[in-house]
Every structure is written in C-alpha cells, then in structure tokens.
Structure 1
Amino acid sequence: MFNKYPALALALLGSAFTVQAQDAARAPQLERGADGLPELVQFRPGTNPRLSEAKQALRAALALAPEADMRSVRSEVDELGMTHEKFQQFYKSVKVEHATYSVHARNGAIEAMSGDAELLELDVRPSLSAEAALQSALGYVRASRYMWQDAGEEARLKQDENNPAATYRPQGELVIVRNQMSVDAAKNGKPTLAWKFNVYAQQPVSRAFIYVDARTGEIVFKDDIIKHAAATGTFGTRYAGTQTGATDSFNGTFRLRELTRGSGIETYNCRKGNSYTNAVDFTDADNSWTEYNNANLDNAALDAHWGAQSTYDYFKNIHNRNSYNNAGAKIRSYVHFDDTPGDGRGYENAYWNGSVMTYGDGYSRFDPLTSLDVAAHEIGHAVCSSTANLTYSYESGALNEGFSDIWGACVEYYKAPTKQTWLIGEDIDKVRPSLRSMSNPNAESQPDTYQGTYWYAGSGDNGGVHTNSGVLNHWFYRLAVGGSGTNDKGTAFSVTGIGIDAAAKIAYRTESVYLTASSNYAAARTYSIQSAKDLYGAGSAQEIAVTNAWSAVGVGAAYGGGTTTPPPTTVSYCASKGTNQGYEWIDLVQLGSINRTSGKDAGYFNGTATSTSIAAGSSQTIYFSAGFTSTAYTEYWKIYIDYNKNGVFTDAGELIVSGSSSSGGTLSSAFTVPATAKSGATRLRVVMSDNSATTSCNSYTYGETEDYTVNITGGTIAPTTFAGVSGATPLGQEEARTARVFPNPANELLTMLLPDNAVVRSVNVYDVRGARMKQVQLGENGTLDVSRLAPGMYQLSLSDGQKSFHQRFTKQ
C-alpha cells in the first residue's frame, strides 16, 4: 500500500536528531505538501544534525522503508556559503522519477531539508521488455522520421559527445513514475514501474521522455524536453538596433562564434531546413554586420547571437552562473529552422531541444522568433533542466514556463531597459501586442490569480503550462513593482515592491536551490519565502513582499496571517544615464557592505537590490573609481543620498561628494549622515561624467550613473533642510590604502604592492569586456607574468586573503 501520512521517525538518528515527547519545542519545523509528506524540514538551533549524517536524517524525516535509498547526485556551495547536497530516491535499486530531496547546511550543520519523495510498496520486476516498450512509445509519438534515422545527425552527435557509441536511438531505463495519463481513473497518480525513453522525432519535430508501463505497455507519462514557447531573441539586429557582440575570424572572414563565454556561443544557419548537420555559418567579410537586413531576414541571426551572449552575461554577472549548466556549456543557436521545408510557410516557433536553441522564421502570427526576451526564455528552460528540472506538465510545467518568462524579462531589463520589460514576445508578434503580459496576464487570456479568471483546468498544452504560467509571471511582477487591489478570489492585497534585481535573486534561489521536478504553486510559495529569508533575513521587507505577492495571486495568506502592511507613498526617481562608455565608466563603488567592481554598464546600473546600513549621525567613507579604455580623462564625480526620501537629490546636504579627478585609482570621500535623516531605505546615486554641469537628473554623453540602496537607522522624519556634510576628504586625493602596480604600462612582469606590504595571495585579471584572462601566472614577491596577454587595458583584482583591492594596468 502507498501510505500518504507517515509518522516522522526522528528517533533513528540518535542524540543529534532525537525528539523527546516532552520536548516538542526542539522538534524540527515541518511544511507538508498536498500528499502529507514534508516538503520542507527546518531544524531549530542546537538540534542540527551534521552534513555527514544527511542520509540518516533524510531516512528519518521521510520515514523511508528499508528498500528505499537516497543517493547523493550533486553538491554545490552558494554565494552565502551554504552547501546544498541533492539526493535522488531509489526503491529496490530502481530510480524514483521526480523524487529528489536537498539538504541545506552551513558550516557542516544541516539547517533545512526540502524536496519531494515517495513512500512505496510495489514489485519492480518488469514483464515487458525494453524493446517491446519502445515500440509502444514510438506508436504513441507516431513521427514520420526520427533523429537516429538520419546518419548525418548520428555522426554529429558522436562528434559532439566525443563518444563513438553515442546515438539518438532511445535506450530504455527502468524507473518508478506516477501514472498521469491512464484512461483508468483508479490508476492516475499511482506510482508505476515504467520504461523511460528519450524519443527525439525529426518530423514533425518533438522530443520528450516517454514512460511506458513495464507490465501493460500503456503510456503513463510524457515529459516534453522541447519546451514550445508558442513564440519564441551588436550587429545591425532586427529587434534591438545596433549592438555589439563577439565573433571569430576564420579563413579571412568572420563567423558568429566566440569562445570568451564558457565553452563558447555559436549561431548557425539552417537555411530553411530541418537538419542541424547541414547548417552552415553566418559569415561577414569585415565584421560589420550591417547588410543583413535582407529579404531572407538574416538579421534575425544577429538577435539570436547577441541574445545568447546577453543571457550568458546576465546569469554570470548577476547570479554567478557559468552558462545554463553552471559548467560553461556551449550555447548553440540554429536560425532559419523549418520543420517542413518547401511548404512555403516559415516555422512559427522556437525551442530549446535539450541540447541547442532552435528558431523558426514565423509566418502568419510571428516574425522570426529571435527577440531578446525569447532567447532568454528558451535558454531559461536549459537553466531549469540543470536545476529544478521542473516536469513539463500541469503546475510544475506552468512554473517551468513562468521561470523562463521571468528570465526573459530580467535579461531584457538588464541589456535593453528601454524595451517593454513586462511583455513577452512584443517584438515578434504580428497579431497581438505581445504573447504574454506579466503585468496584466488577463490581457493575453492568462490568469493573474491561482484558479481564477482564465485558469486552464484541462489536459491540453500539457495541462495548460503556457496559460497557467501567468500566475507565476504576475507574482514576480508584483514582487518587483508592488501594487494593491483585489484579486479574483476577492482577497484584498497590498505589496511593496522590492525591485526587479532583488526579486530575481529570490526567484533564482527558489529555482536553483529548492524547487524539485514535481513542485507545484504551493511549494513555490514555501520555497521562495525560504529563499527570501536566506538572502535577506527572517522578517525582512523582502520576505514580507514575497509572502504578500503570493497572496496577491491567490496562493496562501498575506504576511501575518491575512493582513498586509499598508504600502508607503510611492517614490520615483528621475533618470540619469550616460550615452557613451567608449572611453570611461564607473568601475568601483564601495560603502559598507556595498562593494561592486564592474565594467561598462551601458550608461546606467540599477543596483538598488544591493544595500548597506548607515546610522544617522555617523561618519562614513565612500570609495569609488573610474575605468578607462586607454587615456585617463578628467571626470566629475557627484554622489547623492536622498536623506528625506522625497524622490529628489536637490535638498540641502544631499550632495555628499562633488569634485573632479583624472586618476584611475581608488578615490575616497568622508561624509557625516545628518542626525535628522529619515529612517529606512533610500536611494544612493553615484554620477561620473566628463561634463562639470552634469547633475543628478541628466542624460549626458560620456560616463555612467549607478544607483544603490542605503538603510538609515536611528533617524527621524527629517525636516526640509539638513546639516551640511562635514569632514570631507578632498576629492582627487588617492586612497592611501590601495594597491599599487608598476611598471604601468608593462611588457612582461608586473609588480604588485598591497597596503602594509601584505602578501598577494590571489590575483585575477579581466579585460575591458569583463572576461577573465587565464594567460597570467602569479610569481614570487608579488610579481605577475603578463607577457602572454594581448596589448590593451586590463583590470586587476588582488587579495591578501582578507581584503580585495582593484587596479588597472596597460599591457604594451
């Protein structure tokens, strides 16, 4: 029998995990899923088992039978220093699909465990052979041609995987999976012994895991690998104007390939065919890709290439993720794909097929489906497959689609903030304003409330994955932007937005750390709240916003059990942006826990998700520096804090730094926070321009603006005037405690000196694009061999093991 409500057998672990009846206060805190099993176990301080006891802890928490086993499949350390070890469940040595549990530990002590598991009792001996089951799977797919029937594609696979035995022909794997497709209602939802096949059809295109009952031959489940977006992303692009992107030089011409990001990003031309093997390079004679706006729509390839690079950059720079698999996987895109060549109709779709990106040219509904948000959406599916691996069916599939839309919006905001962030596919849709709207899902017939208007309850579209994703989309929008109103369930809501950057960090942690293959909306709520606690602390404004945003879309109660904190008066700030970063940009801002080094940020960087606390009346020092392509120009620095939180920087005392410098070294300025400053979060704005007339609200030519958040403590509601800033260090004075490098420019050896003659423990070198250089070697006595670097400007990041320092140098 399948027991849905087991007791929590905590006594199995001995003293570290024993809970006495009379000491319930020491028992772990449990969040149970719909099946009654714990989906989140949180240990109270002082009761934490060790990470080395993870398997025993899991067995006890889940009350697993002796025949069940949890096997470690992956262990990662995140940016908070926490270790996340993922375990896959097996039963009698057979893998249990979609049953994974993660153990979250800090300093070797387990703080929480999360995931989904099964309590099983069934026979795991198949009566149907793998070959017979495969015939059932192929009879279900009914394709006219499969990838393993194409000799060219088979040869390409062997080459790509460097494995002469590699083949697309499905190999059966015996697993246990829940039956979700039986015509017999009594079988639906029941764990079933099944053969699993990866079936890749060439015509018509499809790729999915097909599960066949290992006794009856019945199809019990299908999990699509190709996630159809039903839409689908510097060059003279089709949708994003003139952009720049990396290519490579080959045989006297240039190709849409590059190797600076992970293992590379490559874009190919399918020439309106359906063969990856026969695809060719897009080439250009002078690397000025301006003639691609032609009748063949070749400029769409430039969007795809730039979109892949932009998406890689977003995940690397914002989430420290190295390509979709976090191991530098190559990203290949195929443009001008057509599943039925010669029929006169372009392919109206784009998809991630489990290995590569594929883009059609569109026909009646769409233009070529290569817009930036679509490219990010599809690569987002690849990220999901390497993290939560959300099953492409019903609620877990809606989450899969919703997270891809989230990444589409985030990448578009990151690389093209003037576009319509909250619309998906607005560049490619010829019929509607967009494919989906995250701010107003109802406008495109999607629900903005769980099981509310437009919620799809049928079995089509894998259980409505493209429709019901609107709930997650709108949750993310509310979390980022905020707002108040009444949802479809009649529940009043009020959400204070935390900005898209902080919202993205919470969403990424939810997907990459906590969610599992079978997670639903309730689990997404639980895990996103936990992610907010991890990142910002229990009771933080971010946790409150996450909870209230879920209440806004009809999933769970508001923070505090049904009420929300009234929203503060909305404060908006004027725009400030440089239009040219060809010569100079901000490369360091440091104040308290704000410590960001960067390259060019397209004239403006929204760092409001990054914050630090400063006390009213305290003395503070802010550090900052400029990056230069070659010549160091005179730059005018103006730094503001909106002390009275009224949305402007023109009040007395809010200009905390004003001066000029022609140095690329680290500058500093001391200031005093007025005792009358208003408590709470407010805006810090850093402006660097070559024009002395630039103010806090300008569009100017050369330079950059960066915004951050400071949390003022111990203040009051400030009057309209402020005490002036005192104790300022004259701008232009080099910070004495900075690293020095010489000779500069350098030819072969660069000598590096740290403050107090500290030993250089580590050094990283980055070029002007932010790419890390591997052709350098740290020598003795603080020297660095730079002889193998190409001539140009580079950024150094040095460390003595405790503190980091930054400097620039030129290689001759």
Structure 2
Amino acid sequence: MLNKYSTATLLLLGGLTTSALAQDFSRVQAKTLNDDGTPYLVQFRADGNAYKLQEAGTLLREQLQLTADDQLLPAKSEADQLGFVHEKFQQYYKGIKVEHATYSVHARQGQVASISGQFEKIRGLNATPSLTAADALQRALSFVGASKYMWQDAREEAGLKQQENNPNATYLPQGELVVVRTERTSNPLLAGKPVLAWKFNIYAQAPVSRAYVYVNAHTGDVVAQDKIIKHAAATATFATAYSGTRSIANSTATGGYNLREATRGLGIETYNCKKGNSYTAAVDFIDADNNWTAAEYNNANFDNAAGDAHFGAQATYDYWKLVHNRNSYDNAGAKIKSYVHFDDVPGGAGYENAYWNGSVMTYGDGASTFKPLTSLDVCAHEIGHAICEKTANLTYQNESGAMNEGFSDIWGACVEARAASTFGLTGKSTFLIGEEIMKAGGALRSMSNPNQYGQPDTYKGTNWRATTTSPTQANDYGGVHTNSGVLNFWFYLLSQGGSGTNDIGSAYSVTGVGIDAAAKIAYRTESVYLTASSTYANARAGAISAATDLYGAGSAQVTAVTNAWYAVGVGAAAGGGTTPPPTTVTYCASKGTSVAYEWIDYVKLGTIARTSAADAGYYNGTATSTSIAAGSSQTISFSAGFASTAYTENWKIYIDYNQNGLFTDAGELVVSGSSASTGTLTGTFTVPATAKNGATRLRVIMSDNSATTSCNSYSYGETEDYTVTITGGAAIAGVTTGGGSSMGLTQGATARGLELYPNPATDVVRISMPDNAPLVSVTLTDLRGAKVTGVQVEGDQLNVSALAKGIYTLTATDGQKVFHQRFIKQ
C-alpha cells in the first residue's frame, strides 16, 4: 500500500503558495518554538478578533506557513470536562503521511485558545520510491534478525483471523509509504532529516519483539525503529497459589525484581500491605533472581498469593483489551494496582474479603472461611467493579446493585475461561465463582445453579431477597450479593443454553450463543444501555437492544437474549407467550477425563478456525458454525497439542447428516485414523447429496484409545463440538452414504485413568493405577498447591484420616508417566 489518501483529497488545508501565507501576528499572545523553528505551542488572545473553531484551516495555514505540498487532514475530535474541544490533524506531504506529525487546535465555546503539536517543515523531498516494498521488507527482516516470525506460525495466523473475525487478517507486514525523521545513521548531517521510507509492523516470535521498522525508500537503510512491545525489562516466573507457575511481566528494583510492569496501559503493580491496612505503608515484593519459586513463596504468609494478584490483573487487562478493545478499566490505560496481605485490623486474624476501592484492588488473606482471596475469577470480579464504575456506574443497592455484582461475576467467568484456554490452567470451573478460595470446598456462587448457594435463579423466585428503601450493610444493601443470581443465570443460559420450568411456572428453552457472543452482548448492555439506577427490566430492554446492534433484528442472538430473560422471570419470550419446546435433538456426552498429556489444539473447517489449549476434556463450540454444501468435497484440518511426549492419537470426526442426534448412521464417521504427529493433519470427505439442510452437529474426537466411539467418557484426550450448516441438501432426514478419510494409520492402545475410591473419603483412599501399572510414589497437594507432608501409603491405600476436610490432588507415578486425580476428604 503506497498511501491511503490521494493528493486531491488531502488538499483540504494545503494549496496556498508561500507568498500567500502572511501570518496574523495581531491575534497571537505567545508562541513557543521547537528547536527547528517550527511552532510547538501558539496561544491566542481572547478578544473579539479571536479565531473561531470553524476557521481552523485558515489558522493552521497562516501559523504553520503551509505550502502547496503540505496538507493537514482532520484525524480526531475530543471534548474534555473543562469544556474544551480538541481537534487533531495529521500532516501529509504530497499526499504521503508524515509519521509522528500531528497538530491540534484547542477551542472553548467555539473560540480557539491555542494550537500545539509537531509539524515537519519538508522541502523538495523526492516522493517517488526507488525501492519496492518487497525489497524493503527484506532489508527490514535482516535488521530484525529473528529466527521465526508470527506469520510463519500457522496457528498464530489462524488465531489472528479468528480474533479479528477477518479471513484476510495476517501478521505478514504490509508496506506503507511514509515520511519519517532519520534516527539511525552513521552520518550526523543526516540525523533528524525527513526521508521517504517504507514502514513495516514486524512481529517476531523468537526472540519476541514487535516494532515499526522504517526503511529508506531510496537507499534501503533502516532509518528508524519504533517499538510496539515496550518496557520488556523483565519476565518473571512465579509459582502462584492458584494458577500454577506462570510467566509474568515485571521490572527491576533495588535488590532484584519487583511486581511492577509497564507493558499494559499505564502499568500493573502489586504491593505487600504486610497484614496492615495502610496503602502508603505497603512495600514491594522483591525477588533476587526473578524466579519466584514455591520454596520461597508458598509459605506461612501465603506470599504466593501476590503472584496470583499480579497474574490476575494481567490476565484481566488482556481479556478486556483483546476481546472488547478496552484499554484498562477506564478505557484510557489506567494503572491497575493490587494490594495483598491487607488486614482491616493490623496484625489481626486475617481479612475475609477482597474489593475494588474506587482506585485500587485490595485482597485479604482469609481466616476461617477463605484462603487468600486472589484467585483468578476473584481478581477479574473486582476489576469488573471498576469497569462498571466507568460505564453504567450501577448504584450499589437493590436491583441495580445486584446487577453490579452480577456483571462482576460475569467478567470473572469470562476472564477465567479465556485464561484457562490460553494457558491450559487446571482446577478452574468457569461458572463457579470463588471455587479455589474456599477452605471447606465448594464455591461462593454458582452461575449455572444459583440455588445451590442460596441465590435466586428467577426474578422474585426462590431465595429472592426483598429490596428495601433503607439499604444498609445489615440487609446486604437490598440483596446485592443474593439477587445477582438472576443476572448470573441469565448469562449462563445465554452462553450455554438450557431448558426447564422456572420458579414462577414458566417453561423455557434457550439455545446458547456461546460465551464470546454472550460476553459481547453483556458488555454492550452494561456500557451503552444501563444507567446508575437501572432495574432488571431495564437490563432486559438494554440487552435486546445490544444484541440487535451487534447481530441484527430477528437474529438468533436476539431470540436467545429474549428467551434467557424469560427463563429468569423477566419479560415475555421471543414472539410472546412461552418459549417453544426444544426442536433440536439431544446429543450424547463425549469427554476425555484427562488432558494432562494431550489435547486438541487446532480445528479448521471453512470459517471454523480455532486454536486452543486444553479445554478440560470437552469444548462446546456449537455457537461457531460454517456452511457446507451437499455434494461438495471438504477438507478439515486438525492437530494435537502435547505437554511433552507426542503419543499416538486416534482421531474420529463425525457429522450428524440426518440430524437425528446420533453419529452411528452410515457415512456419519467422516474421518478416522491415528497419528503421533504434532503437525497439522487433514481429512477429506464428501457431503452426501441426501444430507439434511440446516444446522447440525460436527464432533471431533481425539483419544489415545482406539476403542473410543462417538459417545464415550474416555481416559486421555478431548472432544470438541461445532455446528455445520448444510445447504442444497434434502428437506427431510435420509440415510447417508459416503464420507471417506485421507487418514489411515495405525491404531493406539487402550488405556484408562488413575482411579481413587471411595471419593469422597473419610479414612482411607484406595489407589488404582492405569493398566495395573506399579505405584512407585505418591504426593498430595491442597487447593493452594501446597504439598501435604506426613501422608502414609501402605500398598495401594492412602491414610487420610488426619487430613482436614477439603479438596486435595493426589499425584501418582509409575516411574514413567505421572497421573493426577482429585478427591474430597469429608
């Protein structure tokens, strides 16, 4: 791409000769110049002769002495709280963008108060490149010198296309012709001089870097570099309490490294309150070698919780930026500060709470009920309150307060789900809130079954807490932590679907749209349509409007939103009355019980293109679909992810062509085979002409057991379900034929997982190793990841009589493989 705008378009503020540019000094009050003599700031007199905002073009021509080759194009307009309007202009030279050269006009009540910015005085520059973009890119790549780039990784490319929802999205740099100051040169006479250059956004994977690289379009020299990944001063390895060992960004400090970083917005910082209640007295956590190990931080003070707070803030920032394009909680890059080891009574027994205080995150260490309150969903929940404050600002009482809490739970679930998928985290349940911080097991709240923890799943139904005109802490401000269950269940049904009869006798059926679409609808509802005093009825209207904005009137998403509100007792079903009974068939369950060694990490068919980490044995991707035509030949791509060793995996891919809820009809096994490859595999099949039109289930199964069928709970591996929409086929179900596969390798061996029984247990747990393998050694950890000492194993029996009640993870090895299984001590 040479340049975005034509010269004719850009003559908006140009086109006058030098002789016509006499400056009107009578209006100038003060002027500050740059070193090159161009104006940096010009302030104007506030009198009857002042410039008006609509005269911005004339003003800039006069004050900057524009020539026929200079153009300024309006780029952005903003108003601030003081009543100023700021109009920003981008400089162009002969229709080519001038990098880093913008100029702003600042006006109040329509009268210009000042102008400021950077303007490049360019004269006689040859604007026709001698070097092609392709040649310039090779010069840029030689300068970067990476061993691998992001566009060379097929999965990263596929992930970008999915993230951008654009099949043409790519990391491959596209050259843009610009004018830029020379910053890299061995000739001091050329330093700071503007040159014509090719600009490339180069993202290197190994070693990691990302920067704009500028190549002189005449000489091929790299003349400037502008880093996109900044402040990468340090990367720590931290053994957290709840999320395993994670890489986190931080920085150097006196004595080593602290928990501060500047790579996200204005930064993320985590501090130690030292069991006190003063933020100003808080200090940095310092580690000498930046390897924050469990031996150092899994201690009596729960210092490993600091790693969870820091990782949680980073993961939450990343979720909002990458999913909703929101730059921190205020959408302006606000610094996220977290304070752990907070105690409202300094040196007390432990603080059983976590909260957002309007400016920082605060986490207690817990006492009798909770462990340190820094689990990932709690971190995301608290930052969610900051999001609410900066958007709807829902008043913290009665129904608005319940929705304030509910939206925070929604964001806790969404952040946790994305991080679990991205990093392969275990021990996390998307629709349970606080499951990792409870000392006695369980959770704080369940979004899928609010009644389980004393919340209502229906508006004014069972467990609903009466709202009040006198909200106080004693009445939970009108049930804000109780009545949030209604919004939670609405979001669960919207994303996952479900059917039943609610507390007020309404039969409902909701077809889920997936957590990503549900999150977009929820965010737009909160940020655009809700105000401080909104009620659940307002939220229903807002959510329907949000879904309409995003997906169109009458869309499946609008129907799902409406029916989900009906399901929780707010408003009518789509079309009025009750929702119709389910018309889709019910499919059998298929799930791997362990993803410790292998999982599905890539599936692509048509517009379905998903790269993922482990999904706990099953992923419901039915909200993601692609169209395939009856009679057409299709190629599906897929690959396995391995924790270490690449094992032989058995692949079976099914399509329910006649939509009867079974995958056992002739021709519905469309791909079958095995491979130990870590690369991308492909299978080809032909869609039968008799396939039924409409949406149907695509099931992808990867198992180490060749006997695994379409309806199995199996040991190692994973199942992923998607939707294919068949066109040009039969109007009714028919017997299908055909559907071959290009795979035909050897089959793997049967295996089963580690089994513990009884579970729950009170005194003794029996350990049954996979395939009667020998039991070589056993270790036991609690929910914090802390190793339990003094465990006694005799033969295949573990004595648990002395353990405190709770949930534990038993790790057993046969000397070659390591197996993990949880059990409950009652």
Q: TM-score, normalised by structure 2?
A: 0.52
Alignment pair present for 1:611 and 2:625: yes
Partner SS for 2:695 = strand
- 1:424 maps to 433
Structure 1 CA distance for aligned equivalents of residues 77 and 626 of structure 2: 33
- 2:458 maps to 449
User: Is residue 428–residue 436 contact of structure 2 (8 Å, CA) maintained in 1?
Assistant: no
Structure 1 CA distance for aligned equivalents of residues 676 and 713 of structure 2: 21
How many Å apart are 1:562 and its aligned residue?
A: 0.9
Q: Aligned in 2, Cα 1:586/1:441: closer, same or farther, shift over 3 Å?
A: closer
Q: Aligned in 2, Cα 1:465/1:301: closer, same or farther, shift over 3 Å?
A: same
User: Is residue 265–residue 328 contact of structure 2 (8 Å, CA) maintained in 1?
Assistant: yes
- Structure 1 range deviating more: 428-437 or 501-510: 428-437
Q: Deviations over 1:472-527 (max 9, x none)?
A: 11222233344444434343333344444443332233223433333321121112
- 1:388 maps to 392
User: Is residue 585–residue 599 contact of structure 1 (8 Å, CA) maintained in 2?
Assistant: yes
User: Is residue 581–residue 600 contact of structure 1 (8 Å, CA) maintained in 2?
Assistant: no
How many Å apart are 1:557 and its aligned residue?
A: 0.9
Map 1:184-199 → 2, pairs under 5 A: none
Give the aligned residue type for 1:269.
N
Among 524, 543, 547, the residue aligned to 1:528: 543
Partner SS for 2:591 = coil
Q: Deviations over 1:317-352 (max 9, x none)?
A: 54444443445444332110112213x232221111
Structure 2 CA distance for aligned equivalents of residues 506 and 348 of structure 1: 33
Give the aligned residue type for 1:422.
F
Q: Aligned in 2, Cα 1:278/1:484: closer, same or farther, shift over 3 Å?
A: same
Map 1:551-590 → 2, pairs under 5 A: 551-567=566-582, 568-576=584-592, 579=595, 586=601, 589-590=603-604
Structure 1 CA distance for aligned equivalents of residues 79 and 571 of structure 2: 29
Structure 1 CA distance for aligned equivalents of residues 617 and 452 of structure 2: 33
User: Is residue 571–residue 645 contact of structure 1 (8 Å, CA) maintained in 2?
Assistant: no
How many Å apart are 1:279 and its aligned residue?
A: 2.2
Q: Aligned in 2, Cα 1:265/1:710: closer, same or farther, shift over 3 Å?
A: farther
Structure 1 CA distance for aligned equivalents of residues 325 and 721 of structure 2: 21
Map 1:487-506 → 2, pairs under 5 A: 487-506=502-521
Give the aligned residue type for 2:343.
D
Partner SS for 2:300 = coil
Q: Aligned in 2, Cα 1:510/1:673: closer, same or farther, shift over 3 Å?
A: farther
Alignment RMSD:
4.3
Alignment pair present for 1:543 and 2:558: yes
Q: Aligned in 2, Cα 1:662/1:239: closer, same or farther, shift over 3 Å?
A: closer
Among 263, 268, 273, the residue aligned to 1:270: 273
Map 1:57-456 → 2, pairs under 5 A: 235-240=238-243, 242-248=244-250, 250=252, 253-258=256-261, 261-284=264-287, 285=289, 287-291=291-295, 292-342=297-347, 344-414=348-418, 415=420, 419-430=428-439, 433-453=442-462, 454-456=464-466
Give the aligned residue type for 2:299.
N
Q: Aligned in 2, Cα 1:609/1:262: closer, same or farther, shift over 3 Å?
A: farther
Structure 2 CA distance for aligned equivalents of residues 472 and 269 of structure 1: 34
Q: Deviations over 1:188-240 (max 9, x none)?
A: xxxxxxxxxxxxxxxxxxxxxxxxxxxxxxxxxxxxxxxxxxxxxx8544345
Give the aligned residue type for 1:674.
P
Structure 1 CA distance for aligned equivalents of residues 302 and 645 of structure 2: 40
Partner SS for 1:607 = strand
- 1:746 maps to none
Structure 1 CA distance for aligned equivalents of residues 451 and 614 of structure 2: 38
Q: How many residues align?
A: 501
Q: Aligned in 2, Cα 1:357/1:586: closer, same or farther, shift over 3 Å?
A: same
Q: Aligned in 2, Cα 1:586/1:316: closer, same or farther, shift over 3 Å?
A: farther
Give the aligned residue type for 2:359.
S
Gaps of 5+ in 2: 1-75, 85-236, 746-826
Partner SS for 1:411 = helix
- 1:671 maps to 685
Alignment pair present for 1:725 and 2:754: no
How many Å apart are 1:628 and its aligned residue?
A: 9.9
Give the aligned residue type for 1:435.
L
Structure 1 CA distance for aligned equivalents of residues 444 and 540 of structure 2: 25
Gaps of 5+ in 1: 1-84, 95-233, 733-812
Structure 2 CA distance for aligned equivalents of residues 704 and 262 of structure 1: 36
Structure 2 CA distance for aligned equivalents of residues 695 and 443 of structure 1: 34
Partner SS for 2:273 = strand
Q: Aligned in 2, Cα 1:378/1:682: closer, same or farther, shift over 3 Å?
A: farther
Q: Aligned in 2, Cα 1:676/1:507: closer, same or farther, shift over 3 Å?
A: farther
User: Is residue 493–residue 564 contact of structure 1 (8 Å, CA) maintained in 2?
Assistant: yes
User: Is residue 412–residue 419 contact of structure 1 (8 Å, CA) maintained in 2?
Assistant: yes
User: Is residue 446–residue 470 contact of structure 1 (8 Å, CA) maintained in 2?
Assistant: yes
Q: Aligned in 2, Cα 1:390/1:630: closer, same or farther, shift over 3 Å?
A: same
Structure 2 CA distance for aligned equivalents of residues 466 and 485 of structure 1: 25
How many Å apart are 1:611 and its aligned residue?
A: 1.7
User: Is residue 249–residue 261 contact of structure 2 (8 Å, CA) maintained in 1?
Assistant: yes
Give the aligned residue type for 1:434.
A
Structure 2 CA distance for aligned equivalents of residues 263 and 638 of structure 1: 48
Q: Aligned in 2, Cα 1:313/1:716: closer, same or farther, shift over 3 Å?
A: farther
Give the aligned residue type for 2:279.
Y
Give the aligned residue type for 1:671.
F
How many Å apart are 1:407 and its aligned residue?
A: 1.7
Q: Aligned in 2, Cα 1:634/1:430: closer, same or farther, shift over 3 Å?
A: closer
How many Å apart are 1:600 and its aligned residue?
A: 7.5
Of all paired residues, the percent bearing the same amino acid is 68
Q: Aligned in 2, Cα 1:305/1:653: closer, same or farther, shift over 3 Å?
A: farther
Partner SS for 1:246 = strand
Structure 1 CA distance for aligned equivalents of residues 503 and 643 of structure 2: 54
Q: Aligned in 2, Cα 1:706/1:261: closer, same or farther, shift over 3 Å?
A: farther
Partner SS for 1:244 = strand
Among 648, 659, 681, the residue aligned to 2:695: 681
Partner SS for 2:248 = coil
Structure 2 CA distance for aligned equivalents of residues 432 and 630 of structure 1: 31
Q: Aligned in 2, Cα 1:438/1:457: closer, same or farther, shift over 3 Å?
A: same
User: Is residue 589–residue 713 contact of structure 2 (8 Å, CA) maintained in 1?
Assistant: no
Structure 2 CA distance for aligned equivalents of residues 392 and 428 of structure 1: 24
User: Is residue 593–residue 714 contact of structure 2 (8 Å, CA) maintained in 1?
Assistant: yes
Structure 1 CA distance for aligned equivalents of residues 261 and 596 of structure 2: 25
Give the aligned residue type for 1:339.
D
Structure 2 CA distance for aligned equivalents of residues 667 and 642 of structure 1: 22
How many Å apart are 1:401 and its aligned residue?
A: 0.9
How many Å apart are 1:379 and its aligned residue?
A: 1.6
- 1:121 maps to none
